[in-house]
Structure 1
Amino acid sequence: MSYLEITGLTVAFPRSPAPVLRDIDLHVARGEFVSVIGHSGCGKSTMLNVVAGLLKPSQGGAVLEGKEVNGPGPDRAVVFQNHSLLPWLTCAENIRLAVDQTLSKTMSRAERAAWVMENLALVRMTAAADKRPNEISGGMKQRIGIARALAMKPKVLLMDEPFGALDALTRAHLQDQVMQIHAALGMTTMMITHDVDEAVLLSDRIVMLTNGPNAQIGEILPVTLARPRDRLALAEHPDFVHARRAVLEFLHARHANPALKAA
């Protein structure tokens, strides 16, 4: 049995003539990093929201460690493109709020305080512990969002285009940091992305969705690059180039944007 199983997943909305997603089957192993990629409107975020328990499927569903996902829970933490930090709390307090809500029964007050600082250190944000969100940059806010998710000790980390709003340099730094965190913690991760290079760099497998509506899994590409990965060393690595080409060929040759086809 897989660690995370998505089986027969179909999601339809009342005002849509066709389902957004249809008959999605995906099995994710413990500790695996899976990216989901596809054109806008293919249901990537919809799939993630079902796994997060934020959206009820029309048919099928998700199972985590043998337990059906039927609502949000601390075993699944979500990092959105928008950091969603509470502006009146400090960075440490934003993390502490999540920790208190999920770990108060298993950790003492002192242990929770230490755990908050440990997660701040994990994303290299200890110096910003007492700052409020409006006092730090966008990339720093996203680091706090990642730390908050990790501090919940989730079984699965779900990321919905977490670096999409960041500049290229900040994006690269956070990608490297996510790779280091994944290597250190071995946390099962599902990431939604539009960025082909990002998907190849970070993932063990890339799930490519066909165009919506009625989007399905068109292809799953294993990424065979050894870990740890260095973006500069991989830039001209034949396996990196091959994987990148395979995803681009799927997206732009076999499943081009419908709007472009109609033009």
Structure 2
Amino acid sequence: MSYLRIDHVDKVFTSGARATRVLEAVDLSVEKGRFVTIIGHSGCGKSTLLNIVAGLVSASAGGVVLENRQVDTPGPDRAVVFQNHSLLPWLTVYDNVRLAVDKVFSRKKSRAERHDWTMRNLELVQMTHAKDKRPSEISGGMKQRVGIARALAMEPKVLLLDEPFGALDALTRAHLQDQVMALHRTLGNTVMMITHDVDEAVLLSDRIVMMTNGPCATIGETLDVALPRPRDRVTLSTDPHYLECRRRVLQFLYERHHYVEAA
């Protein structure tokens, strides 16, 4: 039985008399502890689908089931990390994470336990040294690490990542990819991530979900990535299975469903 189920989801956006069907009959099952990446061209509804899973956007038809319970509103069981880190600039690194901890665990953990849990999650992303700094005093990669710590501190059943490395330079991006892989190996959490990057998708994923072009986008193909973990990007660069997975995704994106620039 699937842990997370996206059940025949449609999404239609309306503006006056005009209706645009962004997603059509999206059907996907995700097993517990799996790392699933959604990839596709701009405008195919990837972020819309992630926001439906997060409960930030309502499906027009179908729904999302998590552990046999339909979810259609935001909740701490589904934590989101956006491309924009979304940290509160007037709070310190510690307080940005502690805010989420207090919100979720105010009745379950004592004040001392909430402090320890905040520090534990900062430690997971190697940010305890900057706990008293404000977002303006740290780098973009460090901000994303704090955003990931804040999401993990909520103990979500599903971690949702919306292009979390998209605004970072190549070296910082690679470092955070490695860190996310290490966190996933340590915590065994269920992850759904959006990306435009084929190499990132193959490196991180257990399964890649390829979206057709919009409007009326749907899942065109899925690909299981049977690469052993832990994964090393240098070793994988010449691995036959890695290269075949990369070829399959590129073929889908650029031959079967190539991007068509809007007129």
With the shorter chain as reference, the TM-score category is over 0.9
Q: In the aligned structure 1, how far is the partner of 2:110 from the partner of 2:32?
A: 28
Partner of 1:159: 161
* 1:48-127 aligned within 5 A: 48-127=50-129
* 2:210 equivalent among 203, 208, 211: 208
Q: CA deviation at 1:122?
A: 0.3
* 1:3-14 aligned within 5 A: 3-14=3-14
CA RMSD of the aligned region, Å? 1.0
Among the aligned pairs, what percent are the same residue?
A: 66
Q: Secondary structure at the match of 1:243?
A: helix
Q: In the aligned structure 2, how far is the partner of 1:109 from the partner of 1:76?
A: 24
Q: Secondary structure at the match of 2:5?
A: strand
> Any conservation in 1 of the 2:202–2:225 contact (CA below 8 Å)?
yes
- Deviation digits for residues 215-249 of structure 1, max 9, x if unmatched? 01000000010011011110110011000010000
Q: CA deviation at 1:147?
A: 0.3
Q: Secondary structure at the match of 1:258?
A: coil
- Deviation digits for residues 93-144 of structure 1, max 9, x if unmatched? 0000000000111111000101111111100111000000000000000000
Q: Secondary structure at the match of 1:121?
A: helix
Q: In the aligned structure 1, how far is the partner of 2:5 from the partner of 2:80?
A: 17
Q: In the aligned structure 2, how far is the partner of 1:54 from the partner of 1:22?
A: 18
Q: Which 4+ stretches in 1 moved above 4 angstroms?
A: none
Partner of 1:2: 2
Partner of 1:240: 242
Q: CA deviation at 1:17?
A: 3.7
| Aligned residue identity for 1:13 | F
Partner of 1:39: 41
State the TM-score, normalized to the length of structure 2: 0.98
Q: In the aligned structure 2, how far is the partner of 1:147 from the partner of 1:249?
A: 35
Q: In the aligned structure 2, how far is the partner of 1:57 from the partner of 1:193?
A: 21
| Aligned residue identity for 1:35 | T
- Deviation digits for residues 71-94 of structure 1, max 9, x if unmatched? 000101000000000001000000
| Aligned residue identity for 2:76 | P
| Aligned residue identity for 1:252 | Y
Does 1:170 find its partner at 2:172?
yes
Q: In the aligned structure 2, how far is the partner of 1:215 from the partner of 1:97?
A: 37
Q: In the aligned structure 1, how far is the partner of 2:34 from the partner of 2:234?
A: 23
Q: CA deviation at 1:195?
A: 0.4
Partner of 1:147: 149
Q: In the aligned structure 2, how far is the partner of 1:155 from the partner of 1:30?
A: 9
* Length, aligned pairs only: 261
Unmatched 5+ residue regions in structure 1?
Answer: none
> Any conservation in 1 of the 2:14–2:20 contact (CA below 8 Å)?
no
Q: In the aligned structure 2, how far is the partner of 1:47 from the partner of 1:70?
A: 12
